[in-house]
Amino acid sequence: MSREAQNLLIPFRRDKKRDFAVGSGEALLASKVRQALLTEGATARSSGELPWRTNFGAGLAFLRHQRNDAALKELARVYVRDALKRWVPGATLVSLAVQQDGPALTL
């Protein structure tokens, strides 16, 4: 008897039963990807956002307020690729579009 994995969705939110919302399948995978990419992991300038798992995260926050050039674009691509490979091994990165529009960098 095999059941599809279920877990809490991030960001935390309430469901119709006044409990924390849980998800499975695509919704759970999207939640895991969002959590990994938006969490600040430990670096030379930071001890990490999660005290119990300091290395968890992608480090994308360190790209803010940097010169928006080809090197920044490549760094963002590498940070995303590496974070997904390490923290969400069940995800397959099919493509990643990094676009520069003036001062904005969009993944």
Identify the three-state secondary structure at position 8: strand
User: Which has the closest alpha carbon to 79: 61, 91, 106, 92?
Assistant: 61
Q: What is the pLDDT of residue 12?
A: 73
Torsion-angle region of 60 (φ positive above 0: left; ψ -120 to 50: alpha; else: beta): alpha
The domains of the chain are located at 6-106
Give per-residue pLDDT as tens, 19-59. Answer: 888 888 788 888 889 989 988 887 777 788 888 888 899 98
Per-chain mean pLDDT for the chain: 86
Tell me phi and psi for residue 63, to 5 degrees.
Answer: -90, -10
Q: What is the pLDDT of residue 14?
A: 79
Between CA 102 and CA 68 the distance in angstroms is 8
